[in-house]
Amino acid sequence: MFAGGIRALLLQSLHPLAMAAVAQHSGFRGDPWGRLQRTSYFLAVTTFGPADDAADAIRRVRAIHERVTGTAQDGRPYAASDPRLLEWVHIAEADSFLRAHQAFGARPLDQAGRDGYIADMARIAVELGVSGPPRTEAELAERIERYRPELAGSAEAREAARFLLLNPPLPLIARPPYAVLAAAAVSLLPRWARRPLLLPALPLTEAAVVRPAGQAVVRGIRWATTSPVRQPQG
């Protein structure tokens, strides 16, 4: 989720209207960890929480989206409740979390599992206002390809990438593992998504250094956040 979340934010920033909404309405620079906490709670409760709690979280997000409107730097109006923008945010998240799990998860999914994950994510997307979200891995890939003509590396997107990758407000002790996670997230991006953000593509270094280091950090996080198995008494 750490690597997938960073990748999702980078990928989402390539849509100029979605990025404009974030830049003009989000507090990610002033309170990045508060925003991360709220996003993490939404993901957790809609994935693992009771149905009533998930529905409440979705209602709150939809109410916020209704208030987020404005005009991008190129003069185009935007609204966070626009089903087209909602779909882009959704498919960028679904693709990023799936790819991160396949690369760094303890138990990568088979084809049926990957399709099942996309179908489960589609249920949340529909409740948020997405019309006809993809329900299989193949549909997800096709939908992302369909959005590519709308994507571009705006100045706002590149600034957000620098903030996210190079200047996160972290104590010194947390910066090395975060840097590994950030590099792992970038390694999951396709080349067409890196170029507009001015991010390098170093396939040999990524395969030999970044991916193994990312797997080591993720294993450490998994170990630190997993409850110990209780041994039976007697």
User: How does pLDDT run across 114-139, given as a tens digit for each residue?
Assistant: 999 999 999 999 999 999 999 999 99
Whether pLDDT at 229 is above 80: no
Comparing 216 with 94, the larger pLDDT belongs to 94
Residue 233 placed within a domain? no
> Across residues 34-56, what is the average pLDDT?
86
Domains held by the chain: number: 1
Residue 194 placed within a domain? yes
- Distance, in Å, from the CA atom of 93 to the CA atom of 26, rounded to the nearest integer, reads 17
Confidence of residue 174 (pLDDT cuts 50, 70, 90): confident
Assigned token pair, 204:
């040999």
What whole-number percentage of the chain has pLDDT above 70? 89
Domain that holds residue 145: 2-224
Residue 49 placed within a domain? yes
- Distance, in Å, from the CA atom of 214 to the CA atom of 221, rounded to the nearest integer, reads 11
User: Are the C-beta atoms of residues 98 and 137 closer than 8 Å to each other?
Assistant: yes
> Across residues 138-155, what is the average pLDDT?
96
Residue 229 placed within a domain? no
Residue 230 placed within a domain? no
Whether pLDDT at 30 is above 70: no
pTM here? 0.86
Whether pLDDT at 188 is above 90: yes
Residue 152 placed within a domain? yes
Block residue for tokens 């040999």: 204
- Distance, in Å, from the CA atom of 30 to the CA atom of 32, rounded to the nearest integer, reads 6
Mean pLDDT across the chain, nearest whole number?
88
Residue 231 placed within a domain? no
Residue 232 placed within a domain? no
Note the pLDDT of residue 41.
87
User: Are the C-beta atoms of residues 80 and 64 closer than 8 Å to each other?
Assistant: yes
Confidence of residue 225 (pLDDT cuts 50, 70, 90): confident
